[in-house]
Amino acid sequence: MEHNSSNFIRNIIKEDIESGKHKEIITRFPPEPNGYLHIGHAKSIVINFGLADEFNGKTNLRFDDTNPSKEDQEYVDSIKEDVQWLGFEWDSMLYASNYFDEMYKRAILLIKKEKAYVDDLTAEQIREFRGSLTEPGKESPYRNRSIEENLDLFERMKNGEFENGSKVLRAKIDMSSPNLNLRDPVIYRVSHAEHHNTGDKWCIYPMYDFAHPLEDAIEGITHSICTTEFEDHRPLYDWVVAECEMENVPRQYEFGRLNITNTVMSKRKLKQLVDEGYVDGWDDPRMPTVSGLRRRGYTPEAIREFVKETGVSKNSGTVESAMLEHFVREDLKLKALRTMGILRPLKVVITNYPEGQVEMLDAENNPENPEMGTRQIPFSREIYIEQDDFMENPPKKYFRLFPGNEVRLKHAYFIKCEEFIKDEEGNVVELHCTYDPETKSGTGFTGRKVKGTIHWVDASQAVPAEFRLYEPLIKDEELEAAEQSGEETTFLDHVNPNSLQIVQGFVEPNMKDVKAHDKFQFFRHGYFNVDPKNSTPEKPVFNLIVSLKSSFKL
RNA sequence: UGGGCUAUAGCCAAGCGGUAAGGCAACGGAUUUUGAUUCCGUCAUUCGAAGGUUCGAGUCCUUCUAGCCCAGCCA
């Protein structure tokens, strides 16, 4: 689809290619394997892989596994699955840990150039010595150790002679820099931890600020694209590449993170929702994780188009969730079979229809996509309709069923409401209607018109089904109101109690054979996905992906 | 209050000295066997504010204002 407007990173790449700075571009998607991917990562994926595709370049999938205490193989597997599901293929799959030997050598080079030193200060002391946003830092008393002593100490760090936290390797830059990242950043720490890839080979691990530029340079990455919070790390990134005398000089470019209304995106908050049981797991359909969106029924195409249309800039804005929803409807419109499902059933007896008679009616599978063909659906004396489609005392402009009113049953006949039956509590539990055989769909009947068309399911062959209806987990308005009222509150206090609503209804008989992830449009409701975990042939479970739009207001 | 970054409609976003693209939302109207879809139309005399340069400024200069990020041995 060609609706991309330009963005600053694409413009830079275009210039770099036109000027001959690069013949081929190489980007990378560098997740840390310590959690599940969410739609914010999807944006990074689309940008990195998308730009490389566009300019015939390459993209590496590189796991930034420099902190073994947090990382795990489980996450690398899920990340690979998510990237592929989103529709992208990496050129090489790599690990930062592949370069630990090379990084170690470059650290020694820094020591030899008197650009790095081993520091014995504790973590707390280092923090104190760093100064503050407005005050310069102080130099560590260990800052001017000899090259020989530093070399010896660093080797012994590597050999495991020191405990976690007892020593670090620091870059020697400038303790009075206004950029805190340049105040002698730690580049190696001691960690006696089992690494998912290198096992117990290493007792020291490089820090992100040292490792990342080296990884990019080693792989020949031309454009290292990340989010804006890394902007003040760029001088350090460039320092590392230069001082480590790397042959390739990658450039870092930063774009603004994706935020979506009524959605929490931070890994920490998502983890809280999972750990504290507010949701079913990382793939709960209410979660903005890639696995959650997949289970909900969002398609890769919709996610990609959404990301492209929101654009790439350095602003930190918040996109309305309506925009994401728009792109799912757009994608599913021609793909999803249109069928009838009753979420909240109300029985209707068609009193003048012969008892025991069943007729088969033709129904188009998707009027906007005739290639999807037609199907046959049964019709008989008893059907279910939606409770909402009957009102005893309707307001003006209510086009559905009420005493004496006639409507069209989709694909079938006109029916007229003759009487309604209530239970002891006053709830309407059954309708008696009459039908007009003249008005059968497809016969071209033009004798009279009705204002409303409602959907229905034949009661004798209806398949019981579960529908899971979703609302946002967090509503921004409520959260903001609470925050502004000054009360002490966290987002967890405002998890929407209606975020999941489960109802039991019926679907057409031919829905018996649905498979996981089949997607349908239930007429007048919305798009639904067959839940891959809980759906069974006896009792299909449908997740609401997104409702149809509606201009009807009661 | 040190440094970095950002500011174009309700939201996202193009724009690169020549007179404000596009998408979402909203609102009219037509078509409709989904109150959907589709179609057609409306929606920034003005670009955070104020000055200045220029024949001409969203684009250049100055000052101001607001918002975001940074003091992990996380990434």
CA of A228 to C1' of B70 (A): 11
Same domain, yes or no: A414 and A467: no
Same domain, yes or no: A23 and A66: yes
Same domain, yes or no: A482 and A453: no
Same domain, yes or no: A419 and A498: no
Range of the domain at A42: 8-255
Active-site entry in A10, A115, A143, A257: A257
A548 within domain boundaries: yes
Does the annotation place A455 within a ligand binding site? no
A285 within domain boundaries: yes
CA of A8 to C1' of B62 (A): 27
A1 within domain boundaries: no
Return the C-alpha torsion angle A410, A523, A516, A539, nearest 10. Answer: -60
Chain B positions with any atom < 7 A from a protein CB: 1-8, 10-16, 21-27, 33-38, 67-75
Same domain, yes or no: A286 and A375: no
A65 within domain boundaries: yes
CA of A9 to C1' of B7 (A): 19
- CA geometry: angle at A189 spanning A186 and A192, to 5°? 170
> Which nucleotide is nearest, taking the CA of residue A388 and each C1'?
B35
Domain boundary among A230, A255, A280: A255
Residues in chain A: 554
Same domain, yes or no: A410 and A430: yes
Structure tokens at A333: 């419109």
- The rounded distance, in Å, linking the Cα atoms of A155 and A204 is 10
Whichever domain contains A479, its CATH number is 1.10.1160.10
Same domain, yes or no: A392 and A539: no
Known active-site residue A257: yes
A3 within domain boundaries: no
Same domain, yes or no: A195 and A215: yes
> Which nucleotide is nearest, taking the CA of residue A334 and each C1'?
B37
Q: How many domains does chain A have?
A: 3
Residue whose C-alpha is closest to residue A509's, from A468, A464, A455, A454: A464
CA of A9 to C1' of B46 (A): 28
Structure tokens at A307: 């990301």
Same domain, yes or no: A71 and A51: yes
A153: Cα separation from own chain's centroid? 45
Same domain, yes or no: A409 and A489: no
Which residues is A255 bridged to in the sheet? Answer: A227
Known active-site residue A32: yes
Domain boundary among A225, A255, A285: A255
Sequential pLDDT tens for chain A (554 residues): 344 679 999 999 999 999 999 999 999 999 999 999 999 999 999 999 999 999 999 999 999 999 999 989 999 999 999 999 999 999 999 999 999 999 999 999 999 999 999 999 999 999 999 999 999 999 999 999 999 999 999 999 999 999 999 999 999 999 999 999 999 999 999 999 999 999 999 999 999 999 999 999 999 999 999 999 999 999 999 999 999 999 999 999 999 999 999 999 999 999 999 999 999 999 999 999 999 999 999 999 999 999 999 999 999 999 999 999 999 999 999 999 999 999 999 999 999 999 999 999 999 999 999 999 999 999 999 999 999 999 999 999 999 999 999 999 999 999 999 999 999 999 999 999 999 999 999 999 999 999 999 999 999 999 999 999 999 999 998 888 887 776 778 899 999 999 999 999 999 999 999 999 999 999 999 999 999 999 999 999 999 999 999 999 87
Known active-site residue A267: yes
Does the annotation place A43 within a ligand binding site? yes
